[in-house]
Structure 1
Amino acid sequence: MTARRIERILPGHRAIDDGDMLLWRALPLSERVSLGPFVMLDHYRHASRRGIGDRPHPHAGIEVISYLLEGGVEHRDSEGFRDRLGPGDAQWIRAGRGILHAEQPTGGRHGLQLWTSLPPAQKLIEPAYASFRAAEIPELQCDGARVHVVAGQVVGQMAGQMAGQPSACIGPMKTTTETVFAHVHLDAGAQVTLDVAAPELGAYVLDGRLAIAEGAPVGPGALVVLGDGTRVTLSNAGDAPADVALLGGAAAQGPILFGGPFVMDTEERMTQAKRDFASGRMGRLDGVPF
């Protein structure tokens, strides 16, 4: 197995920081637009019931992946799906040709919202929805580390009676493009070595201080882009627990054009998505669009 080394460290920027909500955006950045198929990485924490998507709004051309570390949210959309998510739960929305949804927090939250760009041939696919409870998401338990694998495959060395034995976890979320997404929790002083075969891979620091391989420690809000290889060693470099999101996969296909909540590959498709929303072809939710 070849060890992955740090290729680049990209500091996220504070898209919102108003005393109630802190939202770090680590993708897209001027230095890098995508990592694997991921084209947006928002990491948020807020104390009130205010949300970032609590009013009905559209998406098209992407998959929306949500993961909650703390708190809860109620979901509803124009396809008729209704759901409620709690700590450790994950959600997948294939927006495709277009969908409207709204997310109403039940209180303070801490979590991630991620977008993957659908391949050009799948940009206008029919919308779909799925959610995964914390109990359904497989976990690797290593010495001082817990790895929850939401999507893709992660291999780690087991602790306890199975110490030293490699174990593979495959996440229940099936995305359109090859994708890896896992939440790694490290106790103070803990270290874990994982094998992840994704063509592109990065580590985003949610909390604590993280060291990768022989690199200097990085703190919350940083996206560490890793080089070629399969094996990655994560070390908690602080005195408190650390949380990290591992994410990546096959590179995004085609041009990536952003238009608010839409991500398309051509200007023509972007224009059509905006028309479809305005005309109601993406559906309606609470009278939107008017």
Structure 2
Amino acid sequence: MSQRRIETIVASDRVIDDGDMRLFRALPMDGQESLGPFVFLDHYRHHSRRGIGDKPHPHAGIEVISYLLDGSVEHRDSVGFRDRLGPGDAQWIRAGRGMLHAEQPDGGRHGLQLWTSLPPAMKFADPDYASFRAADIPELDLPGATVRVIAGTVNGTTGPMRNATHTVFAHVRLQPGAGIALDIDAKQLGFYVLEGEMQGPEDEALGPGTLATFGPGTGITLQAAEGQAASIALVGGDPVEGELVFAGPFVMDTPQHARQAQQDFIDGKMGRLDGVPF
């Protein structure tokens, strides 16, 4: 098992911090457009029922992955799927050629929303949906740590989420000062600090909102800072296929496909939700 080393450390953007909601955005960033198939990473915490994405809005060209650490939320979309997520639940949406959805929180909520870019051949695939309850997500109990594997394989344990391309997504919780070694097969890999502090390559403290990326290899060592517990999201997998064209909630591989997605939304081809888009 060849050991990966941390190569880059980036502080995410604080997009919202108004007393009720705090939102960090770690992807895309200047110099860090993607990590594996992931092209978007939002980490949010809010206290009221106001939420990100609570009004009907479209997506296309991506898989939308949600992971709820605390609180609950109701999901509905223009394809006809309705669901309710609670703490520890995960959600997968293949937006493909386009769909509308909305997420209404019941109250305060803490979680992640991530996007993975669909391969060029799947940009206009039919939309699909799946959710995974906390009890169905496998958890590794290691000395000083737990690892919940949502997608991909960590130490031989495979998560239930199936993505269009090889994807790794796991939630790791470390006790104060604890360190663990993990074996993960991913061409690109990194971690985002949710809470607490991790120890960096120069023994520096990596606090909430930090995105660290590893170099090549299969094995990683994760170390919580001395006297500090830590909660992190491991993200990675195969690199994005094709070009990346960001057009708001649409991520396509060519400008022509981005314009087609925008026109499909205007023409109502992504369905209706509370009268949107008309």
Q: TM-score, normalised by structure 2?
A: 0.98
Alignment of 1:122-141 (within 5 A): 122-141=122-141
Aligned to 1:200: 188
- How far did residue 144 of structure 1 move? 1.4
5+ residue gaps, structure 1: 156-167
- How far did residue 18 of structure 1 move? 1.0
Alignment of 1:114-263 (within 5 A): 114-155=114-155, 168-212=156-200, 215-263=203-251
Deviations 1:212-262 (A, max 9, x none): 566532111010010001111111104342100000000001110111100
Q: Supply the distance in 2 between the matched residues of 1:183 and 1:212 (Cα, whole angstroms).
A: 18
Deviations 1:147-168 (A, max 9, x none): 000000000xxxxxxxxxxxx2
Aligned to 2:82: 82
Aligned to 2:103: 103
Specify the SS of the correspondent of 1:253.
coil
Contact 1:213/1:232, CA 8 A, preserved across alignment:
no
Deviations 1:50-83 (A, max 9, x none): 0110000000000000001111100000010000
Q: Does 1:12 align with 2:5?
A: no
Contact 1:78/1:101, CA 8 A, preserved across alignment:
yes
Aligned length: 278
- How far did residue 127 of structure 1 move? 0.2
Q: Supply the distance in 2 between the matched residues of 1:26 and 1:239 (Cα, whole angstroms).
A: 26
Aligned to 1:159: none
Specify the SS of the correspondent of 2:206.
coil
Alignment of 1:6-85 (within 5 A): 6-85=6-85
**Structure 1 stretch 207-216 or stretch 21-30: which is displaced more?**
207-216
Q: TM-score, normalised by structure 1?
A: 0.94
- How far did residue 211 of structure 1 move? 1.7
TM-aligned CA distance change 1:133 to 1:273, over 3 Å: same
Q: Does 1:277 align with 2:265?
A: yes
Contact 1:208/1:238, CA 8 A, preserved across alignment:
no
Contact 1:212/1:233, CA 8 A, preserved across alignment:
no
Q: Supply the distance in 1 between the matched residues of 2:59 and 2:235 (Cα, whole angstroms).
A: 21
Q: Supply the distance in 2 between the matched residues of 1:126 and 1:239 (Cα, whole angstroms).
A: 48
Deviations 1:26-54 (A, max 9, x none): 00001110000000000001111101100
4+ aligned runs moved over 3 Å, structure 1: 212-215
Q: Supply the distance in 2 between the matched residues of 1:213 and 1:243 (Cα, whole angstroms).
A: 18
- How far did residue 189 of structure 1 move? 2.0
